[in-house]
Structure 1
Amino acid sequence: MRQLTGHVPMLPLWTYGFHQSRERYKTSQELLNVVDTYRKMKIPFDGIIQDWQYWGSNYLWNAMDFLNEDFSNYRQMIDHVHGINAHLSISIWASFGPQTLQFRELKDKNLLYDFMTWPNSGLSSWPPNMDYPSGVRCYDPYSKDAREIYWKHLSRLHKAGVDAWWMDSTDPDHNFKDSDLDQVRAITDPATGKDFDGSWRSVRNAYALACVEGVHDNQIKADSSRRPFILTRSYFAGQQRTGANTWSGDISSSWDSFRKQVPICLNYTLTANPNVNTDIGGFFANAYNKSYLDNTATKNPLYQELYVRWMQFGVFCPMMRSHGTEVYRELYHYGKPGEVIYDALLDAVKMRYQIMPYIYSQSWKVSKNDDSFMRALVMDFKNDKETWNNNREFMFGPSFLVAPVVKALYTPETANMTDEISGWDKNKKSLYQEGFKADWSAKKTYEVYLPKGATWYDYWTGTKIDGGQIIKSDVTIAHSPLYVKAGSIIPICTKEVQYANIADWQSLDIKVYPGADGSFTLYEDEGDGYNYKHGKCSEIKFSWNEKSRTLTVNKRRGSFDGMHANRTFRVVLPNGDSKIINYNGSKSTVKL
Structure 2
Amino acid sequence: MRKHKVVLLFFVFLTMPIVVLAASFQKISDGIIVSLNQSSSTKARTIRLQVITDNIIRVTATPLTKIQETKSLITTYADTKKTGWSAKQSGNFVVLTTATTKAFVSIKTGEIRFTDLQGNIILQEQRGGGKSFKPIEVEGKSGFSFRQVFESPADEAFYGLGQHQSDEFNYKGKNEELFQYNTKVSIPFIVSNKNYGVLWDNYSMSRFGDPRPYTNLDQFKLYDKNGKEGGLTATYRQNKNLNQVSLERRESVIDYENIQTIKNFPKGINLANASVTWEGEIQPKESGVFRFILYYAGYTKVYLDDSLVVAERWRTAWNPNSYKFSAKLSANKKHKLRIDWLPDGGVSYMGLKALSPVPEAEQTRLSLWSEMGQQMDYYFIRGNNPDEVISGYRQVTGKASIMPKWAMGFWQSRERYKTQAEIVGTLKEFRNRQIPIDNIVLDWNYWPETEWGSHEFEKSRFPNPKGMVDSIHALDARIMISVWPKFYHNTEHFKEFESKGWMYMQAVKDSIRDWVGPGYVGSFYDAYSADARKLFWKQMKDHLYPLGLDAWWMDASEPNVRDCTDMPYRKALCGPTALGPSTEYFNAYALMNAEAIYDGQRGEDNNKRVFLLTRSGFSGLQRYSTATWSGDIATRWEDMKAQISAGINFSMSGVPYWTMDNGGFCVERRYEMAKEGSADRDEWRELNVRWHQFGAFVPLFRTHGQFPYRELWNIAPDTHPAYKTMLYYTQLRYRLMPYIYTMAGMGYFNDFTIMRALMMDFAADKNVLNIGDQYMFGKELMICPVYKYKARTRDVYFPKQTGWYNLYDGKYTAGGQKQTVDAPYDRMPIYVAAGSILPIGQQIQNTTQAQTDLKIYVYAGRNGTFTLYEDENVNYNYEKNAYSTIEFSYNDKDKVLNIAARKGSFKGMAKERNFQIFLVDQTKPLGIDQPSKEFKTIHYDGSKASISLK
Scaled by the length of structure 1, the TM-score of the pair is 0.88
> Is the contact between residue 784 and residue 796 of structure 2 (CA under 8 Å) also seen in structure 1?
yes
Aligned position for 1:587: 944
- More relative contact order in 1 or in 2 (CA 8 Å, sep 6+)? 1
CA-CA distance at 1:69 after TM superposition:
2.5
For 2:695 and 2:898, how far apart are their aligned partners in 1?
32
CA-CA distance at 1:186 after TM superposition:
3.3
CA-CA distance at 1:337 after TM superposition:
3.3
**2:889 aligned residue (537, 540, 543):** 543
SS, match of residue 504 in structure 1: coil
Q: Which amino acid aligns with 2:503?
A: L
> Is the contact between residue 115 and residue 178 of structure 1 (CA under 8 Å) also seen in structure 2?
no
For 1:16 and 1:303, how far apart are their aligned partners in 2?
26
Aligned position for 2:835: 487
**Map 1:335-374 → 2, pairs under 5 A:** 335-374=716-755
Aligned position for 1:392: 773
**1:446 aligned residue (781, 789, 794):** 794
**Map 1:300-339 → 2, pairs under 5 A:** 300-339=681-720
For 1:265 and 1:64, how far apart are their aligned partners in 2?
32
For 2:426 and 2:827, how far apart are their aligned partners in 1?
25
> Is the contact between residue 672 and residue 707 of structure 2 (CA under 8 Å) also seen in structure 1?
no
For 1:334 and 1:181, how far apart are their aligned partners in 2?
40
SS, match of residue 447 in structure 1: strand
**1:101 aligned residue (492, 500, 517):** 492
**Map 1:57-456 → 2, pairs under 5 A:** 57=449, 59-116=450-507, 120-121=512-513, 124-125=516-517, 133-155=519-541, 156-174=543-561, 175=565, 177=569, 180=572, 186-187=578-579, 198-289=580-671, 291=673, 300-409=681-790, 444-456=792-804
**Percent sequence identity over aligned pairs:** 37
For 1:262 and 1:24, how far apart are their aligned partners in 2?
26
CA-CA distance at 1:386 after TM superposition:
1.1
**2:918 aligned residue (557, 568, 572):** 572
Aligned position for 1:56: 448
CA-CA distance at 1:77 after TM superposition:
0.8
SS, match of residue 309 in structure 1: helix
For 1:335 and 1:264, how far apart are their aligned partners in 2?
29
Alpha-carbon displacement from aligned partner over 1:372-407 (angstroms, at most 9, x marks no partner): 000011111111111001110000101000001011
> Is the contact between residue 78 and residue 161 of structure 1 (CA under 8 Å) also seen in structure 2?
yes
- Cα distance, 1:183–1:153 mapped onto 2, change above 3 Å: closer
Alpha-carbon displacement from aligned partner over 1:227-246 (angstroms, at most 9, x marks no partner): 10001111111111112110
Scaled by the length of structure 2, the TM-score of the pair is 0.55
- Cα distance, 1:486–1:72 mapped onto 2, change above 3 Å: same
Q: Which amino acid aligns with 2:906?
A: F
SS, match of residue 669 in structure 2: helix
- Cα distance, 1:108–1:278 mapped onto 2, change above 3 Å: same
SS, match of residue 203 in structure 1: coil
CA-CA distance at 1:53 after TM superposition:
0.5
CA-CA distance at 1:297 after TM superposition:
9.0
SS, match of residue 813 in structure 2: strand
For 1:302 and 1:352, how far apart are their aligned partners in 2?
24
Gaps of 5+ in 2: 1-392, 925-931
Q: Which amino acid aligns with 1:458?
A: N
Alpha-carbon displacement from aligned partner over 1:478-527 (angstroms, at most 9, x marks no partner): 11000000000011012x311013x5211110111011000101111110
For 2:501 and 2:882, how far apart are their aligned partners in 1?
45
> Is the contact between residue 17 and residue 320 of structure 1 (CA under 8 Å) also seen in structure 2?
yes
- Cα distance, 1:341–1:447 mapped onto 2, change above 3 Å: same
For 1:119 and 1:15, how far apart are their aligned partners in 2?
39
Aligned position for 1:5: 397
For 2:711 and 2:679, how far apart are their aligned partners in 1?
10
Q: Which amino acid aligns with 1:140?
A: D
CA-CA distance at 1:183 after TM superposition:
6.6
Alpha-carbon displacement from aligned partner over 1:517-549 (angstroms, at most 9, x marks no partner): 001011111101111111211100011011110
- Is residue 507 from structure 1 mapped to residue 853 from structure 2 by the alignment? yes
> Is the contact between residue 233 and residue 247 of structure 1 (CA under 8 Å) also seen in structure 2?
yes
Q: Which amino acid aligns with 1:142?
A: Y
**2:813 aligned residue (451, 465, 473):** 465
- Cα distance, 1:394–1:119 mapped onto 2, change above 3 Å: farther
Q: Which amino acid aligns with 1:259?
A: K
CA-CA distance at 1:74 after TM superposition:
1.3
> Is the contact between residue 670 and residue 680 of structure 2 (CA under 8 Å) also seen in structure 1?
no
- Cα distance, 1:180–1:301 mapped onto 2, change above 3 Å: closer
CA-CA distance at 1:119 after TM superposition:
11
CA-CA distance at 1:76 after TM superposition:
1.0
For 2:847 and 2:575, how far apart are their aligned partners in 1?
49
Structure whose CA Rg is larger:
2
- Cα distance, 1:469–1:152 mapped onto 2, change above 3 Å: same
SS, match of residue 441 in structure 2: strand
CA-CA distance at 1:91 after TM superposition:
0.5
Q: Which amino acid aligns with 2:479?
A: L
- Cα distance, 1:313–1:335 mapped onto 2, change above 3 Å: same
- Cα distance, 1:260–1:185 mapped onto 2, change above 3 Å: closer
CA-CA distance at 1:123 after TM superposition:
6.2
SS, match of residue 411 in structure 2: strand
For 2:515 and 2:786, how far apart are their aligned partners in 1?
41
- Cα distance, 1:102–1:298 mapped onto 2, change above 3 Å: farther
Deviates more, 1:384-393 or 1:111-120: 111-120
SS, match of residue 558 in structure 1: strand
For 1:332 and 1:384, how far apart are their aligned partners in 2?
43
For 1:68 and 1:212, how far apart are their aligned partners in 2?
29
For 1:406 and 1:284, how far apart are their aligned partners in 2?
17
Would you tell me which structure has more helix in proportion to its own residues? 1
Q: Which amino acid aligns with 2:721?
A: V
Aligned position for 2:86: none
Would you tell me which structure has more strand in proportion to its own residues? 2
Alpha-carbon displacement from aligned partner over 1:328-374 (angstroms, at most 9, x marks no partner): 00011133334211100100100100100000001111111111000
> Is the contact between residue 453 and residue 494 of structure 2 (CA under 8 Å) also seen in structure 1?
no
> Is the contact between residue 372 and residue 397 of structure 1 (CA under 8 Å) also seen in structure 2?
yes
Aligned position for 1:497: 844
> Is the contact between residue 503 and residue 525 of structure 2 (CA under 8 Å) also seen in structure 1?
yes
Q: Which amino acid aligns with 1:488?
A: S
> Is the contact between residue 765 and residue 799 of structure 2 (CA under 8 Å) also seen in structure 1?
yes
Q: Which amino acid aligns with 1:545?
A: N
**1:476 aligned residue (797, 805, 824):** 824
CA-CA distance at 1:202 after TM superposition:
0.9
> Is the contact between residue 288 and residue 303 of structure 1 (CA under 8 Å) also seen in structure 2?
no
CA-CA distance at 1:289 after TM superposition:
2.9
Alpha-carbon displacement from aligned partner over 1:280-316 (angstroms, at most 9, x marks no partner): 0000124233639x89999811111110011001111
> Is the contact between residue 747 and residue 753 of structure 2 (CA under 8 Å) also seen in structure 1?
yes
- Is residue 38 from structure 1 mapped to residue 427 from structure 2 by the alignment? no
Deviates more, 1:536-545 or 1:62-71: 62-71
| Aligned alpha-carbon RMSD (Å) | 2.1
SS, match of residue 578 in structure 2: strand
> Is the contact between residue 856 and residue 915 of structure 2 (CA under 8 Å) also seen in structure 1?
yes
